[in-house]
Amino acid sequence: MRKGQYRFVAGFLFIPVALYLIFVIWPYLQTFGYSLTDWKGQSQTFSFVGLDNYTALFQDDIFLKAIWHNILFLLFIPVITILLALFFAFMLNAGGRGRAGGVSGVAGSGFYKIVYFFPQVLSLAILAVLFGAVYRSDSGGMLNGFLMKLGLVEESSPVEWLNEPNFVLWALIAVVVWHGVGFYLVLFSAAMQAIPRDIYEAALIDGAGRAHTFFRITLPLLWDSVQTAWVYLGIAAMDMFILVSTMTAGEYGGGPDHHSEVMATVMMRNFLLYGRSGYACAMGVVMLLLTLIVSVVMLRATRRERIEF
């Protein structure tokens, strides 16, 4: 390679690599080091404490509770979102049956896709305000107001969706599902449209109904996308910081009485409110390890033989 070319390559890489090293890679690496210290953040002095932060972490009831809530999110969010998205995507792309025997989407599928996808472009902060109003714990809340109209909830005792330990996690799951279904619907739709029509028509001639077509043809051919969706939703379920910290009670959320706490809220509270930097770093490391484990397990658990078409 000529000398001028090296200079060009180096010149183009210098700024991006420098930015990336300073703001991303170096902090990532530092976290591991700080997690082994008793650093409080304000003072510049700290000492090495070994794995003390980690042993403290696994005796911290609030953090253990938070891990459990993340696991619950992990179990429910991907399953509900993917099932709904698959159902809608199938309806929109192959649910209709043409008079001449073709397979097509139902009427108005373009319109549905536009509407369903819209929540995805809204920030989670907007969703927090929106659903804060929807879940309001008096007759002014949309959900309570609606249930009162139907006579399912007494006017005098409205449901406190976000302050009731039994409901708060479900209320949060509903927001995530509401937000995500449209996105995965579009993802699955793109994959469904790549499936050749001949296959559907062959199935139709062989007398397959909608359910058969879906389980025997669409789902197996879509498996790659489903797997991707699973991993992404799993990673989202390990986070949940914005919704929990803005919608539930308490500094950085987690209320009522830690019933909606997730790892990220505990970490941010320890860092920004209590200034326990070293301890917060240890939580960051645990979050990384759990997220990696989740990705690997989900990839393994959903592995199928790849079908070429």
Considering only residues 178-207, where is the footprint of another protein by CB under 8 A? 178, 181-183, 186-187, 189-190, 193, 195, 197, 200-201, 204-205, 207
Place of tokens 């139902």: 106
| Residue 39 vs 168, nearer CB to another protein | 39
What is the pairing mode between strands 96-97 and 103-104? antiparallel
The single residue among 140, 215, 273, 297 that binds another protein, judged by CB under 8 A, is 140
Shortest distance (Å) from residue 172 CB to another protein: 15
Residue 92 is a binding residue for another protein (CB under 8 A)? yes
Residue 70 CB partners (closer than 8 Å, separation 6+): 237, 238, 240, 262, 263, 290
The single residue among 124, 160, 167, 302 that binds another protein, judged by CB under 8 A, is 124
What b/e readout covers 201-230, taking b as 16+ CB neighbours within 10 angstroms?
eebbeeebeeeebbeebbeebbbebbbebb
Task: Extract the tokens encoding 194.
Answer: 């790549």
Q: CB–CB of 244/128 below 8 Å?
A: no
Residue 111 is a binding residue for another protein (CB under 8 A)? yes
Shortest distance (Å) from residue 10 CB to another protein: 9
CA gap 156, 137 in Å, rounded: 11
The one segment of 57-65, 67-75, 117-125, 159-167 that binds another protein by CB under 8 A: 117-125
Residue 103 is a binding residue for another protein (CB under 8 A)? yes
Residue 223 is a binding residue for another protein (CB under 8 A)? no
Shortest distance (Å) from residue 281 CB to another protein: 5
Q: How many residues bind another protein (CB under 8 A)?
A: 125
CA gap 255, 75 in Å, rounded: 21
Q: CB–CB of 33/20 below 8 Å?
A: no
The one segment of 6-14, 50-58, 165-173, 300-308 that binds another protein by CB under 8 A: 6-14
What three-state secondary structure class fits 218? helix
Shortest distance (Å) from residue 305 CB to another protein: 20
Which residue type sits at 57?
A: L
Write out the binding residues for another protein, residues 246-305 only, by CB under 8 A.
246, 264, 267-268, 271-272, 277, 280-281, 283-285, 287-288, 291-292, 295
